[in-house]
Amino acid sequence: MFSKTLRISSSPHINKGVSVDVIMRNVVYALLPVTAFAVYAFGINALLVILTALIACVMTEHLLNKFSNRSSTISDWSAVITGLLLGLTLPPIFPLWMTFIGGVLAIALGKFVFGGL
Amino acid sequence: MLKFSSNTFKHGVHPPEHKEDTNKLPVRQFPFPPLIVLPMLQHIGKPAQVIVREGQEVARGQLLAKADGNLSVPMHAPVSGIVRKIANVPVIGGQKASGIYLETFPFSGQEVVEGAPVPLSASPEAILQGIQDAGIVGLGGAAFPTHVKLKIPEGKFCEHLIINGIECEPYLTTDHRVMLEQADDIFTGIRYLLRVTDAKQVIIGIEANKKDAADHLADRIPDDLPVKVKVVPVKYPQGAEKMLITALLGKEVPSGGFPIDVHAVAVNVATTAEIGRLLPHGRGIQERVVTITGPGIKKKGNYLIPIGTPLRFVLEQVGAAENLSEVYMGGPMMGVSASDLDISIVKGTSGIVVFGDENVKRNDKIYPCIKCGACVDACPISLNPSRLGILAKSEAYDTMADEYHLMDCFECGSCSYVCPSNIPLVQYFRVAKGIVRKRKSAVAHV
């Protein structure tokens, strides 16, 4: 009986269970109405800018994780937030290629070089 | 009489309680194990010194080891039996420490031998000596020698005697059961404590989730005792004595100070009951109430277990799941996880919580701090765990101690409990405190 090795850990042994990805996802939910209104007010251009920024951020995150042999951090939603926020702050008539570069730099410089979420 | 107090301390957390599994179950006597493993250091201070020989037959309650100086307590035989071996025994941290292997007489009646009684009329000094001789330590988990705590320093006085029946740790129900079942012992204990501390009033602090215990005690207060029962809202870590003093008296114990600085002395309710039970008979501690619970246990309950009972024996008796994964001595917030099932129940063991494989759902990934401030809102003594955590990572231990009051942290675990990034803040602080203490003593020895 009880042949298994025990796991030991440092106290406290329980956690409230509200983890970073949950918080980040909630932030995304909170941004959705704003995003919807932005599209309603500024039309398809705004949607394109936001989508470009989103795609740039998530893609950069994915590629950099892959090239630096790190496990994927897409699922913690932080890259999505970066993309959304960037897209929302830019003017709707902003050129998409500039938006794209902005997204790439936000993740590559802001997150990968200096760390943090 | 019984009023719901809105008074509590600032911040704190509300972990799920899980007390309903065991709080209705009366304390049951646990069987005597065939072999007792008794470490000599079960308290804070110096280990007790063994005074028996290998091969010697001892009776239950007989003195096995005497106290080594003032910051130490003696050890009594938890069972009648033969001293098999005086050697190093396994203890919780994974290391070994001096101790005694005691083989139980299988057919002994296990009567307890009694020593010289310490009557209530004895002098305060004699009662303090009696408390030390009985081997009494804080049974709430800290295991600090009670007689040291009760000694009022020169020039100070005690006005409030606080009996701590908070039991804020999730899962644990030992104090709850002790309050329901040992009311007479508690009040006798309070009489002894009043003799020693000369306090003007006694407050029994109980959390609102133990209303039955509060009513039970309030109904039984003897007319000649200045005792009040105060019910406070449920919040962790209210059972920490400094938090409790803030909750009950509205005063804050100064940083680095002791309760006596606000004219208070706080004693755990089970410790009080033990004083009231042992001193009139001159006995020593041989057993204690332990809550055995957690999802990995079949026969959950509150058991009166002889000190020194090996953990493996305990778990076999209560039908622990075979796939048990983590075993905590104490509650899940401040308890220590056992690395080995050969360690034994000690005086400070208030509970055993067992989690099976499927119950340990820990996400081991540690995210960077997102500066959400949840830990700052949780810290009961208003430290800044977030900042302290960042400093710990860059090993700025002296800054932590000098500028951010690291040494006031009592490791309640509230910050790690709420941290969304899974940062093991308490572990960082434990390491940092150890290093700061070492550096300080190194400086003192130069």
Nearest to B188 by CA among B278, B282, B287: B278
The residues, any chain, with a CB within 8 Å of residue B242's CB and separated by 6 or more, are: B252, B253, B259, B381, B410
What is the share, in percent, of chain B residues with pLDDT greater than 70?
98
User: What is the Cα gyration radius of chain A?
Assistant: 19
pLDDT (tens digit per residue) in B36-45: 999 999 999 9
pTM of the model: 0.88
Is B363's pLDDT higher than 70? no
A6: phi then psi, degrees, rounded to nearest 5 = -80, 150
**What is the pLDDT, as a whole number, of residue B3?**
44
How deeply is B298 buried, as exposed, middle or buried, from its count of CB atoms within 10 A (0-12, 13-18, 19+)?
exposed
Q: Is B418 on the interface with A (CB under 8 A)?
A: yes
Nearest to B166 by CA among B246, B249, B250, B231: B231
User: What is the Cα gyration radius of chain B?
Assistant: 22
B182 vs A3, higher pLDDT: B182
Q: At B4, is the pLDDT very low, low, confident or very high (cuts 50, 70, 90)?
A: very low
**Distance in angstroms (rounded) separating the CA atoms of residues B41 and B115:** 22
Is B57's pLDDT higher than 70? yes
**Residue B304: its H or E element:** strand B301-306
Q: Is A20 on the interface with B (CB under 8 A)?
A: yes
**Residue A36: its H or E element:** helix A20-42
Q: At B446, is the pLDDT very low, low, confident or very high (cuts 50, 70, 90)?
A: low
pLDDT (tens digit per residue) in B266-313: 999 999 999 999 999 999 999 999 999 998 888 999 999 999 999 999
**What is the pLDDT, as a whole number, of residue B443?**
83
**What is the pLDDT, as a whole number, of residue A105?**
95
The residues, any chain, with a CB within 8 Å of residue B205's CB and separated by 6 or more, are: B162, B163, B164, B165, B166, B230, B232, B238, B244, B247, B248
Q: Is A5 on the interface with B (CB under 8 A)?
A: no
Is A113's pLDDT higher than 80? yes
Confirm whether the ipTM is greater than 0.85: no
The residues, any chain, with a CB within 8 Å of residue B99's CB and separated by 6 or more, are: B37, B38, B39, B40, B86, B87, B88, B89, B91
pLDDT (tens digit per residue) in A46-92: 999 999 999 999 999 999 999 988 888 888 899 999 999 999 999 99
Reply yes or no: is the peptide bond before residue B145 cis, omega within 30 of 0: no
What is the pLDDT averaged over residues B69-78? 93
Q: Measured between beta carbons, which residues in chain B are less than 8 angstroms from residue A14?
A: 15-16, 170, 332-333, 417
**What is the pLDDT, as a whole number, of residue B179?**
95
**What is the pLDDT, as a whole number, of residue B5?**
46
Is B2's pLDDT higher than 70? no
Under a CB-based contact definition with an 8 Å cutoff, are residues B131 and B279 in contact? yes
Closest chain B residue to the Cα of A114, Cα to Cα: B368
How deeply is B67 buried, as exposed, middle or buried, from its count of CB atoms within 10 A (0-12, 13-18, 19+)?
buried
Q: How far is CA B245 from CA B149, B259, B265, B440, in A?
A: 15, 8, 9, 29
Question: Collapsing DSSP states into helix, strand and coil, what is residue B76?
Answer: strand
Is B391's pLDDT higher than 50? yes
B389 vs B320, higher pLDDT: B389
A33 vs B140, higher pLDDT: A33
> Tokens standing for A19?
């983890």
Closest chain B residue to the Cα of A12, Cα to Cα: B333
User: How many angstroms separate the CA of residue A73 from the nearest CA in chain B?
Assistant: 10
pLDDT (tens digit per residue) in B150-173: 999 988 999 999 999 999 999 999
